Chain A
Amino acid sequence: MALKLADYKTDVHNDWCPGCGDFGIVNAIQMALAEMGIERDKAAMFSGIGCSGKTSHYINTYGIHTLHGRVLTFAQGAKIANPELTVVAVGGDGDGLGIGAGHFVAAGRRNVDMTYIIFDNGVYGLTKGQASPTLKLGEKTKSLPSPNTNSNVNPIGLAVASGFTFVARGYSYDVRHLKDLIIQAVNHKGLSFLDVLQPCPTYNDLNTRDWYAGADLVDEAQKRHSRIYKLEEQGYEPVVHYDSEIEVNEKMSQALIKSLEWGTKIPIGVFYKNALVSPYTQRVKDKIPNYLENPPAKQNISKNGHPNTDISKILDSLEV
């Protein structure tokens, strides 16, 4: 029986603030899973700590709510041990780009075939609104005692530079577009990254839903001009088509330049996609030929309660 959207929802009470951008993201994930028809027990959602960390409890698949900054480590371990799983990791921008930034960069180098979604709202919500790594220098959200003294990290640029092979940005109030991005990300063979702009209605009074919608950018005819625009509608071409240094450099540079766009025009959509880089599972397979058919999680390790492993050749080499 085909799975419906409702099948991917749990009955756990959702305690995010009314109007929270996170709702759009969790809906988009559920819609994407339903549209792809991914079996619930073949998918695992991993989450970090913070408001976004609760996401895994709201989705009716395997759900692993991990530790602050460490979600990628758990998720990669599970995927490498059982490459048949569809693995999606989620977390906040503080989680992934502050405390977890080292893992973020290292994950890019590994290119494990899974998806990482950052709920990007510029603040630490659950600890009452401190500045997060994506808040810009000098900005003062409402619970900051003084303007932000740190510069911001550029999530798209960092992902491209770190080696993520699918890098995109979504907006939590454009759920359908976000759902499509998630489907593309999950289908991508390699590590995909989605930076999702997600207004925090409680603590971020700068980057609000109205701000994204351009409420302050009315023209003479009193018409709003949304800051958000879609790359694909501007003819932006993110895909690396052939494996040459020139092509890769060009597409990477283009993505980096695009990632710097902010202010009155904020692009969403796919910034960079390179399916020509081998995913980590393939790299393991190159060393261990039957890894994909017989991965660690599928191996039988015993016979009649004793090891079925044969280490006699190694022992022979040690024997004197």
Chain B
Amino acid sequence: MSSTDFTWLIGGPQGSGVESAANIFSKVCAEMGYQVFGKREFYSNIKGEHSYFTVRVADKKINSNVNDVNLMASFDAETIFRHYDELVSGGGIIYDSDLEEIKTDAVHTLDAPFKERLHKELESKNKPFTIAGVLEIAKEKGVNLFPVSFKAILETLSEETDNPRLRGLVRMYNVIGVSLSLGLVKMPPDSLQKTIESIFSKKPEIAKINQETANYSYNYATAKFENFNHTLPGTEKEQQTILVQGFQGTALGKMACGCRFQPYYPITPASDESVFLESNEIIEVVDDRPGSIAVVQTEDEISAMGMTIGGALTGTRSATCTSGPGFALMTEMLGWAGMNEVPVVITNYQRSGPSTGLPTRHGQDDLLFAVFAGHGDFPKIVYASGDIEESFYDTGNCFNYAEIFQVPLIHLMDKFHASSVITCKRFDPQKISINRGKLLEKIDGDYRRFEFTDDGISPRSRLGLDNGIFWNTGDESDESGHITEDPVLRVKMMDKRMSRLDLILKEIPDDEKVKSFGVEEYTIISWGSTKGPILDALEMLKKEGISIGFIQLKLLHPFPSDYVNSLLKNAKTIIDIEANHSGQLGKLFKQNTEHDIDYFILKYSGRAMTSTEVYDSLKKIIENKANKREVLMHGA
């Protein structure tokens, strides 16, 4: 049996249901046993600008998108203009036949730089600046065209079901698009019906209309089009598989590991996590009354961070969730938390900077900023997760580290994570351990919050605890927490706090610091969401007999120099892969290890890496054809 590896793309104006259609497609595929990796791209816009979703499905574990698209469902002209060239020979484009004569100039959301590139391409191929023009190019490449009049479908359906409302109901276009697609690939139709029913379970009227439309469109495709050589008949489903969205990994991790307070300020792409938590604010507890997580929308990120610290001072596991610009506002308070040894977790879903940057696009831009955030020297932890599944378990570890070492912790996630949808093994909360460090439940006798101890960590009281009174201050302080400017005490206190960095490196197990996927002559170092594209690219290379090593750094501050040095002993060529301009990990790496970076594979177009791109670049490196700095560009 040949293996399945199929990429479907759906696009349309923001607000037209592209995401819902992609959710239906992903869910149907997952229900039918396929592994799914989907990713959403969208403008910083509410309605009208182009958004699209790429869903890759396979019968083996996949961790990324690829460049090639096998089937595209479009119901507007812009999607065709922007993506026609991503289709591979043998692939197909479902499009609205009523759009064929649309000119590029008629699509006002096509921005000038894109249009200029497109016109140049069309000119060079001697094609008109119309949908028909780009479709001709696709056809010449061997792409199958599946013209459908969406309007006619609705009209017929309206008559057949005696439902005049359906006529001209353009918001059904998304369901038509996804159903035509599933019909084309001969996905068993029951799963489509079931999925729509479950998505609209609370609105039976809407479910019915969608089901009828889906059914009609599905049958339309199977009856009208033949010979599409991709099929998705379904495969054996792995038990205990979940279909999960990026932000749900950290959100569920927070719920499971006992985070009970999350103040936040809205920012893309981080807010979804907080909104999810608030939607699930009442928390079920085994053999006990329900718990809850208090989610507070604050007036700004400064307040979010202040409240988070205030919550942590009461002994509550507290976190906030933000993105680069919001994190920038939090940094003064980060220092305060460091000074006062307050365990807080800041989940940073990074996006493209600097400044507002590309607010809805991807970037791993905040690594160096996170490591160096705040004025003055204070201990903190910077930790990065590589994928959604990992982020669930890492969140549990992050709270443990923060509490054990009594430091603020920045958990780096990013937009690629946040807007991905994947299948993975059902999360197991019992694999998370809870270690609250030296948090006290009871105090008798004298208590000093910042008492000098052998390991540099003092027992931690909490606001409201009997006999546990302490003081905190952003000033230098004595053991009780009162202000001091004494030079001797100052040195002792600085040494006490900063000694924690060594302790962190000593105590955190090596496999939680760095995940090694093998070290070879050529070895990749990377961090965060590049993990997926790298793993898939390595798999492709392995099939050709090429083995490249990969170590994924998770603990980025303090930097695990010794362990990284020992891992890379036999590596000759180090390749740094990351989604930013300056190779931020590379800089940290150079500063902290005995090695230099030989090649950089970087992407800062705002779009996540595909495994195809990573594969191509690695191949160039191996063949000695690469530049020291390979910059990736794929993605509309």
Binding site for B on A (CB under 8 A): 10, 12, 40-42, 44, 46, 49, 54, 56-57, 60-67, 70, 72-82, 84-85, 102-103, 105-106, 284, 287-288, 290-291, 294-297, 299-303, 305-315, 318-320
Contact = CB atoms under 8 A, between A and B. Distances in A.
A28 B470 CA distance: 22
B449 to A, nearest CB: 10
A81 B31 contact: no
Interface string B249-286: 00010011110110100000000000000001111111
A307 B428 CA distance: 10
Given A70-B306, A314-B252, A41 B298 contact: no
Dominant secondary structure at the A interface: mixed
A299 to B, nearest CB: 5
A313 B464 CA distance: 34
Interface stretch (B86-94, B238-246, B546-554, B605-613): B238-246
Contacts of A67: 306, 332-333, 336, 474
A81 B260 contact: yes
Q: Is the interface of B mostly helix, strand, loop or mixed?
A: mixed
Given A103-B303, A320-B30, A82 B463 contact: yes
B313 A308 contact: no
B315 interface: yes
Interface string B22-37: 0000010011000000
Given A77-B318, A284-B294, A294 B258 contact: no
Task: Give the interface centre of B316, B462, B481 by most chain A CB atoms within 10 Å.
Answer: B316
B429 A306 contact: yes
A65 B475 contact: yes
B203 to A, nearest CB: 17
A82 B314 contact: yes
A108 to B, nearest CB: 11
B474 A66 contact: yes
Nearest to B306: A73
Contacts of B314: 78, 81-82, 85, 296-297
Nearest to B431: A306
A320 B423 contact: yes
Contacts of B294: 80-81, 284, 288, 291, 295-296
Interface residues of B, number: 84
B241 A302 contact: no
A190 B88 CA distance: 64
Contacts of A296: 260-261, 292-294, 311, 314, 316, 318
A76 B257 CA distance: 23
A74 B248 contact: no
A213 to B, nearest CB: 33
B474 A65 contact: yes
Contacts of B317: 301
Contacts of B290: 290, 294
Interface string B214-235: 0000000000000000000000
Contacts of A73: 298, 302-307, 310
A84 B316 CA distance: 14
A78 B292 contact: no
A61 B469 contact: yes
Interface stretch (B404-412, B432-440, B628-636): B432-440
A311 B255 contact: yes
B512 interface: no
A103 B298 CA distance: 9
Given A73-B306, A320-B242, A303 B286 contact: yes
A73 B464 CA distance: 18
Contacts of B336: 66-67
Contact of A41 (B244, B256, B468): B468
B49 interface: no
Contacts of B308: 77
Contact of A78 (B243, B311, B427): B311
B309 A77 contact: yes
B471 interface: yes
B535 interface: no
B472 A64 contact: yes
Select the residue from B31, B310, B432, B482 with max chain A CB neighbours within 10 A.
B310
Nearest to B462: A297
A309 B316 contact: no
Nearest to B468: A41
Interface of B: 27, 30-31, 237, 240-244, 248, 252, 255-258, 260-261, 263, 280-294, 296, 298-300, 302-311, 313-318, 332-333, 336, 396, 423, 426-427, 429-430, 432-436, 462-475, 481-483
A76 B307 contact: yes
A80 B261 CA distance: 9
Contact of A42 (B258, B318, B433, B464): B464
Contact of B256 (A79, A287, A300, A311): A311
A77 B261 contact: yes
20 contacts: A41-B464, A62-B470, A66-B306, A70-B302, A70-B303, A70-B306, A73-B303, A74-B309, A76-B307, A80-B311, A81-B310, A103-B306, A288-B292, A296-B261, A296-B311, A296-B318, A297-B314, A306-B430, A307-B396, A309-B255
Given A78-B463, A320-B30, A308 B286 contact: yes
Contacts of B304: 73
Contact of B464 (A64, A76, A80, A82): A82
A312 B284 CA distance: 9
A103 B607 CA distance: 36
B243 A318 contact: yes
Contacts of B289: 290, 294
Contacts of A78: 310-311, 313-314, 463
Contacts of A76: 306-307, 310
Given A70-B302, A288-B294, A320-B27, A297 B316 contact: yes
Given A288-B294, A319-B241, A320-B31, A309 B283 contact: yes
Given A77-B261, A103-B303, 12 more contacts: A41-B467, A66-B472, A67-B336, A75-B310, A80-B261, A85-B464, A296-B292, A297-B311, A306-B429, A308-B288, A309-B429, A319-B242
Nearest to A40: B469
A314 B280 contact: yes
B332 A307 contact: no
Contact of A318 (B242, B257, B292, B465): B242
Contacts of A294: 289-292
A213 B283 CA distance: 58
Q: Which of A44, A61, A309 has the most CB of B within 10 A?
A: A309
Contacts of A12: 482
B372 to A, nearest CB: 19
Nearest to A79: B310
A291 B483 CA distance: 36
Contacts of B463: 44, 62, 64, 78, 82, 85, 297
B339 to A, nearest CB: 10
Q: Which of A77, A106, A288, A306 has the most CB of B within 10 A?
A: A77
B311 A306 contact: no
